[in-house]
Chain A
Amino acid sequence: GAVVSQHPSRVICKSGTSVKIECRSLDFQATTMFWYRQFPKQSLMLMATSNEGSKATYEQGVEKDKFLINHASLTLSTLTVTSAHPEDSSFYICSARGLTNTEAFFGQGTRLTVV
């Protein structure tokens, strides 16, 4: 299957700072990218969907000013958690889908811990 690389895999930051997570499609052009958040023992929760060159569409209850998503190219999307707080600590996962794919491929996830 296609490869999606997510970086960093693990990050610890201080409360009040911002953290950027990168998601790259390595061998295909990702026309659509999805960002998820997963709390312990829970399923993945979709945060937002972004199409290349367009503004992201956020799910209900997800603050767009707190979770900034940029999908500026067909191989890169970024999620920036601004002014992070301990309750933002979670496992963040990106997913990418190309124009010719009906299936989506996932990054390995980023474990964010806010202290």
Chain B
Amino acid sequence: DAKTTQPTSMDCAEGRAANLPCNHSTISGNEYVYWYRQIHSQGPQYIIHGLKNNETNEMASLIITEDRKSSTLILPHATLRDTAVYYCIVHSGGSNYKLTFGKGTLLTVNP
């Protein structure tokens, strides 16, 4: 699976949009970009995933660059409950994939 690079930490003001970047320059054509988050002392939560088109759901939007070498997770109106570690993971989603986590980005939403 392709490696990802994320900033260690970011801050965001409550009510503003949080934009979390992820670099995955070695991504293969059949690999998806997945985002999960982990709130302190809880199991990770699936947020969104995409292949090449931008995606939106009730939690967030995912913007993938045309060359697919990077992506941005957007939380449109961050709340204090969005404070968490956000993980960007790239894999093919095939039946034999292993879901492995990097260090992620600690997003702190400030009042």
Contacts and interface: CB of A to CB of B under 8 A. Distances in A.
Nearest to A102: B93
Give the bracket for the number of chain B residues in contact with chain A. Answer: 20 to 34
Contacts, number: 52
Interface string A73-115: 0000000000000000001011101000011111111010000
Interface stretch (A13-21, A42-50, A63-71): A42-50
A97 B49 CA distance: 15
A109 B32 CA distance: 26
Interface of B: 32, 34, 36, 38, 41-46, 49, 85, 87, 93, 95, 98-104
Interface of A: 1, 4, 6, 31-32, 34, 36, 43-44, 46, 49, 91, 93-95, 97, 102-109, 111
B95 to A, nearest CB: 8
Given A102-B49, A102-B93, A103-B49, A43 B102 contact: yes
A43 B44 contact: no
Contacts of A106: 36, 43-46
Pick from A6, A46, A104 the residue with the most CB of B within 10 Å. A104
A99 B42 CA distance: 25
Given A43-B101, A43-B104, 14 more contacts: A4-B43, A6-B43, A31-B95, A46-B98, A46-B100, A94-B43, A95-B43, A95-B99, A97-B99, A103-B46, A103-B49, A104-B46, A104-B99, A107-B43
B44 A93 contact: yes
Contacts of A32: 95
